[in-house]
Structure 1
Amino acid sequence: MFVLTVDQRRSRSREDLVQEALDVLNTDSARPLLRGFERTAGDEMQAVTSDASVAVDIALDLAASNNWSVGIGVGRVDEPLPESTRAGSGEAFERAREAVTAAKTSPGNIAVAGARAEAGHAEAVLQLLVSVARKRSKEAREAGELSDQGLTQQHIADRLGITQQAVSSRLHSGLWHECRRGQSAAQALLEGADR
């Protein structure tokens, strides 16, 4: 099981982003959660999923935005899960607290805590992916997001009004395809950490 504990960065010097994030994250049907995100304290929120790909996808999006410190706790949870995420308990919840604390000073503001070595390996991959994502240009992000929607490079070029070669260059400079493979590796490592 995976518990995501997420803390807004620099929350004392900027507007509260939690409610907006809750609205987006809890209505995304492509990312099913066992227990949706809830505000747990001030500028912090938490959710539970049994799907490593969902945990990786959400964690990367939030950390790459540079607005959040993201902790992923891996392990068992006490069942049955209560209706409220805040009322949950068990190893994954405890490790998520440990991870979000570590994330505040970790590269990419993302950390993973679990009993198996794969948790640390997943953390290393996720930190690398966030570092790349934060350096990616707006144009590379735009081309990559369209690529993720299944558009060919020629269709992306037509949509953006640029050449196919320019699309290829944006995807290449943003390391888009390499990061997608890295994301799959992080997912496999998280699954291994949860065995």
Structure 2
Amino acid sequence: MYVMTTDQQRSRREPDRVPGAIEALSGIHTVRTFDRTAGDEFQAVLDDVDDVISAVVILAELGGWSIGIGIGDVEQPLPAQTRAGRGQAFERARVAVTDAKRAPYPVSVVGSDDDATTAARTAVRLLYLVVSERSPAGRAAVAQMRRDGTQSEAAARLGITPQAMSQRLRTANWHLEEDTRMLAADLLRSAG
């Protein structure tokens, strides 16, 4: 199982962004839904690594979050509310989010195999970097590609030429994102 614990950065100086983040993550399949645990923090239990990766991408796009991913067993049966859960994955998610708060790229992974965990952490941080450093134009281009699927259709919807669309996607590292998603997913599977 995967437990994600996410904490809002600069929460004492900024308004509460937890409800908006939980709404942005509402399309992600979870075992226990994203739920506020305390203050400016929320948590979810997931069983599919691709959903974990999608959640990381959404949070990286939003910016301003420290993300901890814990991999391991959880006590069964899971309680109705995420925050009442217990087990290795919950404990590791707590360690991971604390580490993420100190890291240059605020996402961390803690699993059972140290070498595999280090590799997974590096890949997830690379994914975070690729996504979080996009310009607004790059984010718009990527979002349109996710909706339309082809560059020419996405360019038409954005009112730009296919050449401009190609340039925006290249600058936004769109193709690197897809490869990095697959790499991070494979490494997260092995880190448990």
The aligned length equals: 191
1 CA distance for matches of 2:74 and 2:165?
Answer: 44
Q: TM-score, normalised by structure 2?
A: 0.94
Q: 1:23 to 1:158 in 2, by over 3 A?
A: closer
Superposed displacement of residue 161, structure 1: 1.3
* Paired position in structure 2 for 1:78: 75
SS at match of 2:79: coil
* Paired position in structure 1 for 2:87: 90
* Paired position in structure 1 for 2:101: 104
Does the aligned pair in 2 maintain the 1:63–1:110 contact within 8 Å? no
Match for 2:29: what amino acid? P
Superposed displacement of residue 150, structure 1: 4.1
Q: 1:133 to 1:55 in 2, by over 3 A?
A: same
SS at match of 2:166: helix
User: Larger deviation: 105-114 or 143-152?
Assistant: 143-152
* Paired position in structure 1 for 2:21: 21
Superposed CA deviations along residues 62-101 of structure 1, whole A, max 9, x for unmatched, are 1343211000000111111111111111100000000000
User: Larger deviation: 49-58 or 146-155?
Assistant: 146-155
Superposed displacement of residue 159, structure 1: 0.9
Q: 1:129 aligns with which of 113, 127, 144?
A: 127
Superposed displacement of residue 24, structure 1: 3.5
* Paired position in structure 1 for 2:64: 67
Q: 2:163 aligns with which of 158, 162, 165?
A: 165
Q: Which runs of 5+ in 2 are unaligned?
A: none
1 CA distance for matches of 2:54 and 2:42?
Answer: 16
SS at match of 2:75: coil
Does the aligned pair in 2 maintain the 1:74–1:193 contact within 8 Å? yes
The CA RMSD measured in Å over matched residues stands at 1.3
User: Larger deviation: 157-166 or 67-76?
Assistant: 157-166
Does the aligned pair in 2 maintain the 1:63–1:70 contact within 8 Å? no
Match for 1:7: what amino acid? D
Does the aligned pair in 1 maintain the 2:5–2:41 contact within 8 Å? yes
* Paired position in structure 2 for 1:139: 137
How many percent of aligned residue pairs carry the same amino acid? 43
2 CA distance for matches of 1:162 and 1:82?
Answer: 50
Q: TM-score, normalised by structure 1?
A: 0.93
The reply to whether residue 56 of structure 1 matches residue 53 of structure 2 is yes
Q: 1:42 aligns with which of 39, 45, 48?
A: 39
1 CA distance for matches of 2:125 and 2:109?
Answer: 10
Does the aligned pair in 2 maintain the 1:64–1:131 contact within 8 Å? no
Superposed displacement of residue 20, structure 1: 2.4
Match for 1:8: what amino acid? Q
Superposed CA deviations along residues 101-151 of structure 1, whole A, max 9, x for unmatched, are 000011220000011122221111111222222221111111112212243
* Paired position in structure 1 for 2:152: 154
1 CA distance for matches of 2:134 and 2:24?
Answer: 23
Match for 2:9: what amino acid? R
